[in-house]
Structure 1
Amino acid sequence: MYQTDNSTAAVSQPAATAAGSAGFFTDGNPATSTPATIVPAEWLNAVMMELVNVVIGAGLTLSKTTYNQVLAAIKRIGQNTVVLADTGVANAYTAVNATPLVAGTWVDGVVQAVKIAHANTGASTYAPDGLPAIPIYGLGLQALQGGELALNGTAILMRATIAGVNSGNPIAVLMECFGGTQQVPNSTSSQHAMTLG
Structure 2
Amino acid sequence: MHRIDGQGATSNNKFTEGNPATGTPATEVTADWLNAIQEEIISVLGAAGINMNKAVNNQLLAAITTLIAGGGVAVTAAGVSIADAGDYLSGGDVEAALQQLAQKVYAGTLSASQIRRSVVSVSGASQQTEAAHAESVVQVSHTAAATYTVRPDSTLNLPVGTAIEIVQAGVGKVSIVAGSGVNPIKKHSAFNAATMGQEAVVVLYKVAANTWRLGGMLEAV
Shorter-chain TM-score tier: 0.3 to 0.5
Scaled by the length of structure 2, what TM-score is found? 0.37
Larger strand share, 1 or 2: 2
More helix by share: 2
Q: Which has the higher contact order (CA 8 A, sep 6+)?
A: 1
Structure-1-length-normalised TM-score: 0.40
Larger Rg: 2
